[in-house]
């Protein structure tokens, strides 16, 4: 009897229910999914197969000149060139650019997004949008090295003063705000030393003093940290890293609020540096698998970090997802996950001993950047880029990116490396 019921249920579903759902699917979807989850947004946003001959992925448009059939259309396009999805001239964007930007904006939870040729360019465009000669910038001391070089070089030459602050300062940053402070820049966690900033507390200080709060959110991405829910005014990512995810394209993104977007857009257009369409396409393709990749990066990174904590040659591990990490409580409060990037502080040893460890790594390769499918390891010296805080350089530091390889294989590679380190340290 039960088999009969199952049979007729199948017929009922195929003959009646499915056609009903097909006919009214759009209406039902609008009612049942008022706010899609991020995993669904990653798959569905920035796509329009109906207007692209049914093609699943948005096509790549290579364009400089765009033709218009009439003077009226030419003039209309000129007036609407700053509107989203308005094709005017290649430098202003193409359907390839717009589809990617729309997807990132949905994930970030901001007003609109601008794609740029690199993460550093995205940082530069963001800073130049809100700073002028005579202004004061508060910059976190653990910031990405190229960002510091912008502050100490280009911005300084154009009359912008930068004060670096302790990444753990929290609401105490109010004591550093000056009458001409216009921007407070955050990076949480720092990409070398992984301090987690109290973005909410800093945001309250910033807005109380009419400052804008900018965040480099590359480590967490918009999946693991929602910038605009914590008072951020501009969210920046080096899409080169986790969004692209395959170490084969340079790309940056900026997402602004309705209040900040106009200045960001003007700054980006003044810089005249649009991203290449092929790189944008790779960024958009990377979005589709971002969640599954990040989950794997996170799980492998946590496994390796916890194991490294127990090793004799390791002084400490810098990973906010570990219970003993100084930033763990803030991370648990504000974040929804962790990426695969973390630091390892070794016990005092020689530079040559560290080289003995790293030169023969089989799976962990040495190279800059991170966020790709492959595991990376590089020696770092944060003391070279600290002015507001100090870092003890007598303890060698490594930066590790956990890729998508088998975690046991990666652990074995690290184990053999630590054995070489121990042997070289004794000799």
Structure tokens at 406: 């088998």
Do 401 and 366 share a structural domain? yes
Q: Contact 141/386 with Cβ under 8 angstroms?
A: yes
Say if 34 falls within a structural domain. Answer: no
CA 392/CA 381 separation, integer angstroms: 9
Say if 15 falls within a structural domain. Answer: no
The residue out of 288, 318, 344 marking a domain boundary is 288
E strand intervals along 319-375: 341-346
Question: Whose CA is closest to 184, among 198, 205, 200?
Answer: 205
Q: How many residues does the chain have?
A: 427
Assign 33 a pLDDT band (cuts: 50, 70, 90).
low
Q: Which of 108, 216, 325, 413 is catalytic?
A: 216
Do 162 and 87 share a structural domain? yes
Tell me which of 3-12, 202-211, 299-308, 394-403 is least confident: 3-12
Active site residue 144: yes
Residue 55, pLDDT above cutoff 90: no
CA 102/CA 379 separation, integer angstroms: 37
Q: Contact 110/255 with Cβ under 8 angstroms?
A: yes
Do 315 and 386 share a structural domain? yes
Render pLDDT for 297-340 as a digit per residue (tens, 0 to 9). 999 999 999 999 999 999 999 999 999 999 999 999 999 999 99
Assign 35 a pLDDT band (cuts: 50, 70, 90).
confident
> In total, how many domains does the chain have?
2
**Which pLDDT belongs to residue 4?**
40
CATH of the domain at 389: 3.90.1150.10
DSSP 61: P
Is the torsion defined by CA of 120, 124, 127, 130 positive or negative?
Answer: negative
Say if 21 falls within a structural domain. Answer: no
Active site residue 241: yes
CA 227/CA 307 separation, integer angstroms: 31
Say if 17 falls within a structural domain. Answer: no
Active site residue 91: yes
Q: Contact 184/206 with Cβ under 8 angstroms?
A: yes
Do 333 and 276 share a structural domain? no
Q: Contact 146/266 with Cβ under 8 angstroms?
A: no
Domain that holds residue 179: 49-288
Q: Torsion angle, CA of 155/161/166/170, rounded to 10 degrees?
A: -100
**Maximum distance among all Cα pairs of the chain, rounded to whole angstroms:** 84
Q: Which of 144, 164, 165, 242 is catalytic?
A: 144
Query: Average pLDDT in the 97-117 region?
Result: 97
Do 284 and 327 share a structural domain? no
Is the torsion defined by CA of 111, 51, 39, 240 positive or negative?
Answer: negative
Cα 193–chain centre separation: 17
- For 287, the 3-state DSSP assignment is helix
**Which pLDDT belongs to residue 317?**
98
Do 304 and 208 share a structural domain? no
Do 282 and 301 share a structural domain? no
Structure tokens at 105: 């904006």
Assign 347 a pLDDT band (cuts: 50, 70, 90).
very high
The residue out of 242, 259, 288 marking a domain boundary is 288
Do 310 and 331 share a structural domain? yes
Q: Which of 76, 85, 89, 91 is catalytic?
A: 91
Structure tokens at 327: 């930033």
Strand partners, 214: 185, 234
pLDDT above 90: percentage of residues in the chain: 83
The residue out of 288, 310, 335 marking a domain boundary is 288
pLDDT above 70: percentage of residues in the chain: 92
Render pLDDT for 369-403 as a digit per residue (tens, 0 to 9). 999 999 999 999 999 889 999 999 899 999 999 99
Structure tokens at 57: 């992925």
Do 204 and 57 share a structural domain? yes
C-alpha count within 13 angstroms, C-beta hemisphere, residue 415: 9
Say if 29 falls within a structural domain. Answer: no
- Unique residue bearing structure tokens 């753990």: 168
Residues 6+ positions from 14 with CB-CB distance below 8 Å:
none
Q: Which of 41, 106, 241, 291 is catalytic?
A: 241
Do 104 and 76 share a structural domain? yes
Do 180 and 94 share a structural domain? yes
Q: Contact 335/230 with Cβ under 8 angstroms?
A: no
Q: Contact 110/257 with Cβ under 8 angstroms?
A: yes
Do 255 and 169 share a structural domain? yes
């Amino acid at each position: 009897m039960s088999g009969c019921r199952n049979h007729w249920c199948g017929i009922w579903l195929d003959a009646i229910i499915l056609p009903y759902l097909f006919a009214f699917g759009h209406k039902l979807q609008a009612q049942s999914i008022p706010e899609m989850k991020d995993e669904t947004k990653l798959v569905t946003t920035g796509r329009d197969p109906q207007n692209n001959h049914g093609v699943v992925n948005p096509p790549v448009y290579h364009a400089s000149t765009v033709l218009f059939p009439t003077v009226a259309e030419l003039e209309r396009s000129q007036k609407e060139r700053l509107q989203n999805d308005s094709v005017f001239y290649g430098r202003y964007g193409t359907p390839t650019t717009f589809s990617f930007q729309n997807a990132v904006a949905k994930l970030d939870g901001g007003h609109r997004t601008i794609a740029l040729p690199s993460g550093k360019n995205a940082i530069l465009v963001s800073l130049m949008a809100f700073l002028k000669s005579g202004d004061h910038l508060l910059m976190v001391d653990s910031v990405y090295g190229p960002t510091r070089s912008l502050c100490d070089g280009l911005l300084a030459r154009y009359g912008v003063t930068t004060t670096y602050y302790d990444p753990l300062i929290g609401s105490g940053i109010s004591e550093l705000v000056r009458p001409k402070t216009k921007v407070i820049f955050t990076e949480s966690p720092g990409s070398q030393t992984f301090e987690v900033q109290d973005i909410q507390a800093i945001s309250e200080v910033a807005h109380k003093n009419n400052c804008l709060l900018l965040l480099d959110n590359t480590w967490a991405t918009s999946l693991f940290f929602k910038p605009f829910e914590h008072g951020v005014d501009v969210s920046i990512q080096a899409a080169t890293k986790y969004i692209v995810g395959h170490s084969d394209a340079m790309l940056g993104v900026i997402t602004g609020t309705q209040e900040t977007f106009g200045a960001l857009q003007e700054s980006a257009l003044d810089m005249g540096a649009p991203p290449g369409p092929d790189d944008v396409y790779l960024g958009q393709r990377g979005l589709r698998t971002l969640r599954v990749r990040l989950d794997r990066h996170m799980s492998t990174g946590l496994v390796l970090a916890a194991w490294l904590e127990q090793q004799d040659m390791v002084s400490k591990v810098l990973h906010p997802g570990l219970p003993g990490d100084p930033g763990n409580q803030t991370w648990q409060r504000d974040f929804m996950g962790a990426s695969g990037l973390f630091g390892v502080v070794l016990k005092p040893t020689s530079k040559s001993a560290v080289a003995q460890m790293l030169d023969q790594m089989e799976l962990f390769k040495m190279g800059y950047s991170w966020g790709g499918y492959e595991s990376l390891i590089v020696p770092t010296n944060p003391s070279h880029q600290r002015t507001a805080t100090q870092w003890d350089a007598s303890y060698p530091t490594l930066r590790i990116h956990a890729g998508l390889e088998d975690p046991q294989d990666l652990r074995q590679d690290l184990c053999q490396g630590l054995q070489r380190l121990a042997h070289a340290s004794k000799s």
